[in-house]
Amino acid sequence: MKVYIDGEFLEEAHAKVSVFDHGLLYGDGVFEGIRMYHNRIFKLREHIERLYWSAKAILLEIPMTPADLMKACVDTCRANGLREGYIRLIVTRGKGTLGLDPRRCPKPSVIIIASTIQLYPEKYYREGLTIVTVPTTRNLVNSVNPAIKSLNYLNNILARIEANNAGVEEAIMLNSEGFVAECTGDNVFLVQKGRLFTPPLSAGALYGITRNTVLDCAQSMGIPTAEPNLTRYDVYNADEMFLTGTAAEMVPVVKVDGRVIGSGAPGPVTARLLEAFHERTKVEGELIFD
């Protein structure tokens, strides 16, 4: 595997960062997870845009233009001969001192990893996930805003540990008001009486690229959508439920906190949306190989 680091392609064994990099020391940096399908990098422009938004929020100046960064992602896929898979794009504050002050980091670092991924075993896409709600609360918007896709993922990791302890693959995180925010790595969707619901961004939900794509698919298919505050009561009484994320794509949920969702099997609206999503992956995105 060849890894892009600051303009160079390095073999995996030699792809290293300084122990004084503030991304390592303090989680000071931002990232994107991006998918490749059918020789295309899906929604690359949208991912790059979100990366720059995250960087702006933490006053991190990315040392490349968006166009150059997009080209570097394409080049990394080509260098690894990949037409399908996953890209992890990282921008760290760069090498600095042991102090917190970001002004001691003169040059941010850009890292691009292109590989393959499968987040969940195939059976979960056929049969659906069983998940739980966990005690760990989603970050407040006036602390580390959940809209920032930062390298500090400890909030999500603590919730994932609770999911592991419960013997499940994912977990719902609530915000400080008790409303559904998101899962540890995915956005949440409910179907009730033919309508599609997902928590608002203000509840602590990430501005998900897959989330937005599914909402676009639903609107083009005539499925009514809304983004109200949702509680666990709404989850338990949904007809269908699924999660979305770049790595996960769309995965159904059939049981939450011991409550069976709908019929207990992935539902028809979920299936229709998944088919529409897969159709988009065939035609949208930047070409890798001409």
How far does CA 18 lie from the centroid of its chain? 26
Is 255 among the catalytic positions? Answer: no
- Out of 107, 149, 193, 255, the active site residue is 149
Q: How many CB atoms lie within 10 A of CB 169?
A: 21
Terminal-to-terminal C-alpha distance of the chain: 21
Residues in the chain, total? 290
H helix intervals, the chain? 22-26, 44-57, 66-79, 122-127, 154-165, 209-220, 232-236, 268-281
DSSP 23-90: HHHH--EEEEEEEEETTEETTHHHHHHHHHHHHHHTT---SS-HHHHHHHHHHHHHHTT-SSEEEEEE
Is residue 161 helix, strand or coil? helix
Catalytic residue numbers read 149
